[in-house]
């Protein structure tokens, strides 16, 4: 299987400050990969660079097509859904409107309606609250909504930025179970950026570790989980 996403020599800048120093990695189609690293290592920047939300140089290829120079909304339309840090929920709109927005670029109205029902199956709590203003949902519920919204795009690749942030462990477990299900059944390639290394490594098949804007380790999730340095630095034992 060829790489679906291929990143070479990625350098990203916030103003004059350089955050990524020649990042390189690839994602195989259908894989569930996690990107681990400490605070400030460049995890979020990597996701933002893929969607052209930050100034960068280097090559990013999706299915062989170059993403550089395309606007964020055009990159999304190629089939890349991004669940940002903080979820980016449209707090003043209802839950159902948020889901409709996820599918706003799709032309198949019937498909959208049935997909909304599928989201309610995946996340029953959203169905309960579907006419409620999204800002009134709890953190965990908003995260579910953000993931559901991303799925409404019927993406080929889904990027998630710290989905476990601020959530109780049990909720994170549930969320990750659903992500695994989506990866296996709906065949969505997933890249999860996480600080919660343990859970992420249980979920993923592959893992990369990033440190100060460079990939310093890569391998299968099991290898990385059993790696002593990683355990000491990120898992605390």
Q: Where do contacts with another protein occur on this chain (CB under 8 A)?
A: 51, 53, 71-73, 76-77, 81-82, 84, 86, 88-93, 97, 100-102, 104-105, 135, 149, 153
Strands 214-220 and 206-211, how do they pair?
antiparallel
Q: Which helix (H) or strand (E) holds 58?
A: strand 55-62
Q: Provide, rounded to whole angstroms, the least separation between the CB of residue 32 and another protein.
A: 21
Least Cβ distance, residue 230 to another protein (angstroms): 31
Q: How far is the CB of 93 from another protein (least distance, A)?
A: 7
DSSP 20-32: EEEEEEEEETT-E
Within 8 A by CB and 6+ apart from 108, the residues are none
Give 193 or 230: the residue with its C-beta nearer to another protein.
193
For 35-65, give the DSSP string: EE--TTSSHHHHHHHHTT-SEEEEEEEETTE
Q: Give how far the C-alpha of residue 149 lies from the chain's centroid of Cα atoms, to the nearest Å.
A: 12
Residues in the chain: 237
Which phi and psi angles does 7 have, rounded to 5°?
Answer: -120, 125
Work out how close the CB of 163 gets to another protein at its nearest, in angstroms, rounded to a whole number.
Answer: 15
Instruction: Say what angle helices 95-102 and 139-151 make with each other, to 10 degrees.
Output: 30
DSSP count for the chain of H helices, then E strands = 10, 10
Query: Taking the complex as a whole, how short is the minimal distance between the CB of residue 118 and another protein, in angstroms?
Result: 18
C-beta of 59 vs 71, nearer to another protein: 71
Closer Cβ to another protein, 100 or 218, answer by number: 100
Q: For residues 96 and 194, which CB has a smaller minimum distance to another protein in the complex? A: 96
- Shortest CB 159 distance to another protein, Å: 10
Beta pairing class for 17-28 and 3-14: antiparallel
Looking at the Cβ atoms of 93 and 125, the one nearer to another protein is: 93
Looking at the Cβ atoms of 189 and 221, the one nearer to another protein is: 189
Closer CB to another protein, residue 42 or residue 84? 84
Output the smallest distance, CB 20 to another protein, in A.
20
- Specify burial of residue 92 (Cβ count, 10 A radius: 0-12, 13-18, 19+): exposed
The answer to whether the beta carbons of residues 4 and 157 sit under 8 Å apart is yes
């Amino acid at each position: 299987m060829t790489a679906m996403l291929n990143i070479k020599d990625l350098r990203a800048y916030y103003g004059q400050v350089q955050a990524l120093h020649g990042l390189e990695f690839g994602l195989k189609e259908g894989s569930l990969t996690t990107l681990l690293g400490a605070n400030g290592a460049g995890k979020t920047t990597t996701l933002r660079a893929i969607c052209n939300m930050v100034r960068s140089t280097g090559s990013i290829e999706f299915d062989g097509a170059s993403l550089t120079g395309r606007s964020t909304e055009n990159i999304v339309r190629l089939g890349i859904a991004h669940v940002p840090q903080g979820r980016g929920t449209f707090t003043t709109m209802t839950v159902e409107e948020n889901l409709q927005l996820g599918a706003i670029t799709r032309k198949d109205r019937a498909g959208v309606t049935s997909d909304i029902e599928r989201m309610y199956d995946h996340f029953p709590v959203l169905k309960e609250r579907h006419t409620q203003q999204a800002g009134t949902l709890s953190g965990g519920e908003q995260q579910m909504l953000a993931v559901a919204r991303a799925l409404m795009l019927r993406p080929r690749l889904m990027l998630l930025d710290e989905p476990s942030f601020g959530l109780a462990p049990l909720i994170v477990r549930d969320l990750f179970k659903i992500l695994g299900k989506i990866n296996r059944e709906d065949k969505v390639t997933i890249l999860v950026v996480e600080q919660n290394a343990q859970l992420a490594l249980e979920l993923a098949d592959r893992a990369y570790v990033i440190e100060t804007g460079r990939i310093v380790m890569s391998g299968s999730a099991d290898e990385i989980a059993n790696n002593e340095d990683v355990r000491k630095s990120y898992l605390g034992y």
